[in-house]
Structure 1
Amino acid sequence: MAGAAPGILLSDVAAARHGARIRAAAPTARLIPVPPEGPLPAAAGAEIAFVTRDLFLGGTRHRLTPRFLRFTDFLQTLPSLRWVQTFSAGTDMAVYQAMLGRGLLLTNSAGASAIAVAQTAIAGLLALARQLPRVMEAQRRRAWEPLYGAAEPRAFEGQTALVIGTGPIGQEIGRLCRAFGLRTVGIRRDPAAGLPDGFDVAAGFANLPDWLPRADWLLLACPLTTTTCGLIDAAALARLPPGAHLVNVSRGGVVAEAALLAALQEGRLAGAFLDVFEAEPLPPDSPFWALPNVIVSPHSAAASDGLPERVAAIFCDNLRRWLAGASLANLARPVA
């Protein structure tokens, strides 16, 4: 049973931004702000931690910030800690997996960024479909080059969007794709679970090789797991039809980057919108920067000024559940 007056560890920024909302959800809660430097606060008996994006700003999943590490290292010293809520939808980072290994409850913020991430994916799809990289390259040369002619943009009618991952992000991508007239096929872990919102067809990972040759657009919106790591390899890319495009707003590790680079350089893949990479930041000497058929985005698909409040709302809903002794929403699991 949760304590009647739970201690909640959070950043000083989150305490100032969300303190009133948290106290409204749990009037007896004891907020314990963790400053970016200096002495750490007294946190004896603290049961809950709220990990917010301000701790992560300026870093990447491969290069964590000193503020993030200071906060998460502090959590490791607290034997009373029982539950950690994080701002992210994905929890495949080693620090989160270690929390699960320690036996802590870990909840993510799945759904908070779904609309922004899906809109980013569709923005990338539309930019590639309407050949905006070609238009912008002509603009840099101050050249007036209309898109009429042999390589005109294809109409969406009759095209298929194959979306890997049918969670909140994948479902919103599917809904938006259908709004533009694309047929949508979702690849999910459990195809017997029914047809998710936003899709015309759902299939399992075992059926992915059968669907790749029919995909004009391959959109990746899945978590990084043992099933999805390296899922889109050279063999998978070779099964895509000529002229297909790829959009990745999931994790860089879902795609074999060397195989993707070769497919793009050789023209077997028409183009790609890439928000995530195996190594982030993307090194300055990466060939992806210079490819005319690639749009590089710096892992910003979730960026939205409303995101912190949506994450806080998820945390406060879970906080009420915690105090009531109910099951928490968005429970994370070890990567499998």
Structure 2
Amino acid sequence: MSPEAARHAGGGLQAALGGKPYVLANIGDDADVAFVSRDVTGLSTKHAVLPHTQRFHDALRSAPSLKWVHAHSSGADRPVYGDLIARGVAVTTSSGANAGVVVQTALAGVLMLARCFPQLLAAQRNRSWAPLVGSGLPRDLAGQTAVIVGWGPIGRGMASLLAALGLHVVAVRSTDGAAEPPASETVSYERIGEVLPRADWLVLCCPLTERTRGLIDAAALARLPAGVRLVNVARGEVAEEPPLIDALRRGALAGAYLDVFAHEPLPAESPLWDMPNVIVTPHTAGHSDGNEMRVAAIFLDNLRRWTEGQPLLNRV
């Protein structure tokens, strides 16, 4: 956290603990609890860990008394978290802190693709008057089907907005079961192939796990009907990139909004940068000036639970 956020967090923590003494400090030789804030990870990615981030991760791994680690991110797919969980350390995330922001961004991606904004913006750059009535009218969103992969705060938020726009929503989540409105049906990750042939939109907002890694592979893409558009605000590894690029090149996929990639930053030589039917953003779908305090609030709530012996929220 920033110094200002830390001051706010400290005051909230002191009140939460009834004025009892507390310590918020960098990890030294040992610690019971650690908070991996944005100050630790900075702008680093899973493939380009900054030196100070690596030092912090190493300190986590070597702290013998460590019992609980909280991450500022909504996911816990960095290798350090798996290592900690394997030795019995509780790991919690800030899932939900930026969900509303991600939902807004993902919806913007859907609307831009649905309303042909990539083509319209290209025409603007070329000073070309190119009304859609002359180049193929876009389809009405109402009546289309959105397959939403992941049923956490982001997936449910997207489902509510898309249903309000008149789309039929299918939820793909970790378990089978009765449909949870606004989804009209639900299948597990392993059964995604059953619903892909009916998709007009494939929206990826699931965590990266062994069950979701490579979930959208060449075989899954082949089951999609022509003209589908894809939105990925999950993790790049959920959709295998080579067959995805191939499907976009061939027109099997009509377009994509991609905020996450297998390798970040996205290499300059990636063909995704220049594809006329692709919107690329730099893993920024969840960035907002209100996130820091929402993350701090989740951490403080869990810290209160920790001191009172209650179950931790968002435990991985």
CA contact (8 A) 1:15 1:31 kept: no
Taking only the aligned residue pairs, the percentage that are identical comes to: 48
CA shift for structure 1 position 226: 1.5
1:17 and 1:86 map into 2 onto residues whose CA distance is 18
Asked if structure 1 preserves the Cα contact closer than 8 Å seen for 2:9 and 2:297, the reply is no
Counterparts of 1:206 and 1:42, CA distance in 2: 43
- Scaled by the length of structure 1, the TM-score of the pair is 0.89
- Gaps of at least 5 residues in structure 2 are none
What residue is the counterpart of 1:123 in the other structure? 108
The one of 299, 303, 309 equivalent to 1:315 is 299
Deviation track 1:61-105 (CA, whole Å, cap 9, x = no partner) reads: 211223322322222332222111111111111011111122111
Instruction: Give the C-alpha shift of residue 197 in structure 1.
Output: 4.3
Quote the Cα distance in structure 1 between the aligned partners of 2:21 and 2:185: 46
8 Å contact kept, 2:61–2:83:
no
In the TM superposition, residue 19 of structure 1 has moved relative to its aligned partner by 2.1
Measured in 1, the distance between the counterparts of 2:213 and 2:189 equals: 13
Deviation string 1:154-202 (CA, Å, 9 cap, x unpaired) is 101210000011111110010111111111110111122x433431221
- Aligned match of 1:33: 25
Aligned with residue 49 of structure 1, among 34, 37, 41: 34
Indicate the SS of the match to 2:81. helix
1:182-261 alignment to 2 at 5 Å? 182-192=167-177, 194-261=178-245
Residues 71 and 30 of structure 1: CA distance in aligned 2, closer, same or farther (over 3 Å): farther
How much has 1:42 moved relative to structure 2?
5.5
Alignment partner of 1:15 is 2:6: yes
Match of 1:37 in 2: none
- 1:86 equivalent to 2:71? Answer yes
Is 2:61–2:80's contact at 8 Å kept on the other side of the alignment?
no
Structure 2 residue 285 is the aligned partner of structure 1 residue 301? yes
1:329 alignment partner in structure 2: 313
1:159 corresponding residue in structure 2: 144
Q: In 1, are the aligned partners of 2:97 and 2:291 still within 8 Å (CA)?
A: yes
Whole-Å separation in 2 of the counterparts to 1:96 and 1:29: 28
Contact in 2 for aligned 1:166/1:196 (Cα 8 Å)? no
Gaps of 5+ in 1: 1-9, 35-40
SS in 2 for 1:247: strand
Contact between 1:11 and 1:51, CA under 8 Å: does it hold in 2?
no
Question: What's the Cα RMSD here?
Answer: 1.8
1:283 matched to 2:274: no
Q: Give the whole-Å Cα distance in 2 for the aligned partners of 1:61 and 1:287.
A: 21
3-state SS of paired residue (2:147) = strand
Cα deviation for residue 222 of structure 1 reads 0.8
For 1:230, what is the secondary structure of its paired residue? coil
Q: Aligned partners of 1:11, 1:115: CA distance in 2, in Å?
A: 22
1:132-143 equivalences under 5 Å are 132-143=117-128
TM-score by length of 2: 0.94
Any idea what the Cα deviations from partners look like across 1:188-217, whole Å, max 9, x if unmatched? 11122x433431221222331121110000
Instruction: Report if the CA contact (8 A) 1:11-1:33 is conserved.
Output: no
Matched position secondary structure for 2:253: coil
Q: 1:29 to 1:70 in 2, by over 3 A?
A: farther
Structure 1 outlier segments of 4+, above 3 Å? 10-17, 41-44
Contact 1:12–1:33 under 8 Å retained in 2: no
Alpha-carbon offset, residue 13 of structure 1: 7.2
Residue of structure 2 equivalent to 1:4: none
